[in-house]
Amino acid sequence: MSKIDFFKTFIKDKDVASVIPTSLHCVKKVCENIDFTKDFTLVEYGPGDGVFTNYILGKMSAGSRLILIEANEDFAAHLKETITDPRVTVHNRLAGEVESVLNPEDVGNVDYVLSGIPFSFLKKDRKREVLQATKKILKGGGLFLAYQTSGHLKKPVMEVFGNYDTDFVALNIPPYFVYKVINNEVAKTGS
């Protein structure tokens, strides 16, 4: 997707967080938290034009899976047209609806959730819905990784997960706070 097309999508969709794609420096910083030596399942919220997606695809193992959740129709269509890797599935859905696109056996077994959606644009109840859905799909010890323009996510993350670490990436337009959140809930077995 060209920078002009990205900008046009930014103008049309109030939920697109940035006027330009995330910098490679920021992508690498966020992805430091992913263990690329093992097979994993990663769900990405708001992949946009695929900056993180393409970086992850270049590093992940043959047995890994990448599930993209993109609410913007233009971005979702672009991803479906340009990414033909069989390890990737693209869904034009809201992040809070993530469970509806996963196989039942994946719920509670996702290793990573990576989020570029602008939580600052979401109302309080929708933030909580997305975070609770994220916690539900992550395995015990799984990571929620988010990059945001401010520290506004700290309180809702604490309410749902009870923990977070943050880092700051100045070499990006706009600069980002990078959140690393661990799902400390032990997976339930049987029932």
Task: Give the pLDDT of residue 177.
Answer: 93
Q: pLDDT (tens digit, 9 = 90+) per residue, 59-97?
A: 999 999 999 999 999 999 999 999 999 999 999 999 999
Domain ranges of the chain: 3-182
Q: pLDDT (tens digit, 9 = 90+) per residue, 53-66?
A: 999 999 999 999 99
pTM of the full predicted structure? 0.86
pLDDT at 158 over 70: yes
Q: pLDDT (tens digit, 9 = 90+) per residue, 31-61?
A: 999 999 999 999 999 999 899 999 999 999 9
3-state secondary structure of 7: helix
Reply yes or no: is the peptide bond before residue 118 cis, omega within 30 of 0. no
Task: Give the pLDDT of residue 187.
Answer: 57
Task: Give the pLDDT of residue 188.
Answer: 52
What residues have CB less than 8 Å from 132, skipping those under 6 apart? 160
pLDDT at 10 over 60: no
Domain 3-182 has CATH 3.40.1410.10: no
Task: Return the sign of the alpha-carbon dihedral for residues 106, 67, 35, 134.
Answer: negative
